[in-house]
Amino acid sequence: MKKDIEYIKEQLSGKHSREFMKSLSDDELKALIDIFEKDDDKIKPYYRNLDIIESQAISVEAYGYMLSMYRIGSLTEVTFEKVIQICMHLYYITQEQVSKSKLDKIIMMINFSDFNLNNIKEFIDTIINENKYQMNIHKIKH
């Protein structure tokens, strides 16, 4: 803990006056350390760049959405990769880039249903059939 206090003093010293730094007690510095550690736990970095084909399959907006869902804990690393895999399959079948709205449906289906992600074919069939159903609804005249 002593090293942590020295580290935080060093980090703050360049940004604040000596008087301010002297006014901080060790308890206040410990409280600052706790705040920084809690904030570090909230942000989950994920270093994953899409390759060329993946970036053709997933829109920039959709990928940014995936990253934000990961950072808030709605997607795990394993689920993140499964979503990319599903998007790639969809792209090969439909030849359409996966949009944010389509990706949102995929993530909702993964998080709120009992789909077995080991059977991606069944999952893809469900998504494609849902899209066909939605397209047919728009063709019906009332």
Residue-range domain boundaries for the chain? 2-42, 52-139
Tokens coding 88 = 């790639």
The set of residues, in sequence order, having a beta carbon less than 8 Å from that of 64 and lying 6+ positions away, is none
Tokens coding 4 = 């942590």
Cα–Cα separations (whole angstroms), residue 69 to 35, 99, 101, 102, 127: 23, 15, 14, 14, 20
Residue that has been written with the tokens 């006056």 in this structure:
17
Which DSSP category does 118 fall into?
Answer: T
**What pLDDT does 119 receive?**
67
Tell me the mean pLDDT in the region 84-109. 90
**What pLDDT does 54 receive?**
93
- The angle formed by the CA atoms of residues 92, 97 and 99, to the nearest 5 degrees, is 135
Confidence of residue 91 (pLDDT cuts 50, 70, 90): very high
